[in-house]
Structure 1
Amino acid sequence: EGLSCLLKSRSESSNMSGLQVAPSSPKVNHLLFADDSLLFFKANSMGATEVNLVLDRYCQASGQRINYNKSSVYFSKGVPDSIRTEVKTVLQVPNETLNEKYLGMPSDIGSSKSGAFKYLKDRLWSKCKGGLRAQCLQQAKRFW
């Protein structure tokens, strides 16, 4: 909660304003779940420095520490290698990866949303065709 408040307080900054999924949606500069954190900021040294300041402040206040070996950075397409290197150096995060899935959802959707979520549709359809339909029929028979 403390980290979230610190990040929200920086949402007015042009470097940490976050991203918007639609014109009418709010901007999001972080997503937190259990011990995982996703931070969204501009890929430049000022953005990385601002993130560092927030994280340092949080660590000082909470006593928690960041495991930089388990941390990684993911860049949008088109970010030059020089900027990537600069941001990773400022953040002290050597890894440049993003898992294929995060919390069971695809992390890099791209422009083909139907392809990215096809597995959900297929999985749901297989459950409707198979086991769930049979279970529903068995339950219905018990009531009749």
Structure 2
Amino acid sequence: MGKGLLKGAKTSRRGPEISHLLFADDCILFGEVTNRGATILKGILKEYERCSAQCVNFDKSTIFYSSNTT
């Protein structure tokens, strides 16, 4: 993206932000727990579908939140 829209997760205070991890045919995306963050992630998935001609299976997809999320 390069527009600074996606906010990744940090593993330490000085460490880099991790926005995604790729494993074979799986992808883990990290984002901000806000309506804006969810909209950005959904847009990324829609763009992936458009560019790859593949469909994201939301029945096989899961969302995890950190333990300090209300």
TM-score calculated relative to the size of structure 1: 0.45
Over residues 115-134 of structure 1, what are the superposed CA-to-partner deviations in whole Å (9 max), with x where a residue is unaligned? xxxxxxxxxxxxxxxxxxxx
Q: 1:32 — aligned with what?
A: 22
Q: 1:56 — aligned with what?
A: 46
| Unmatched runs of 5 consecutive residues or more in structure 1 | 1-5, 81-144
User: How much has 1:24 moved relative to structure 2?
Assistant: 3.0
User: How much has 1:77 moved relative to structure 2?
Assistant: 1.1
Give RMSD over aligned pairs. Answer: 1.4
| Unmatched runs of 5 consecutive residues or more in structure 2 | none
Over residues 41-99 of structure 1, what are the superposed CA-to-partner deviations in whole Å (9 max), with x where a residue is unaligned? 1111110100111111111111011111110010011322xxxxxxxxxxxxxxxxxxx
Q: What are the equivalent positions in structure 2 for 1:1-144 lying under 5 Å apart?
A: 6=1, 9=2, 12-13=4-5, 16-80=6-70
Indicate the structure with greater strand content.
Answer: 2
Return the alpha-carbon distance in structure 2 between the equivalents of residues 33 and 79 of structure 1: 26
User: How much has 1:37 moved relative to structure 2?
Assistant: 1.0
Q: Of the two, which has the highest radius of gyration?
A: 1
- The alignment of Structure 1 onto Structure 2 pairs a total of residues equal to 70
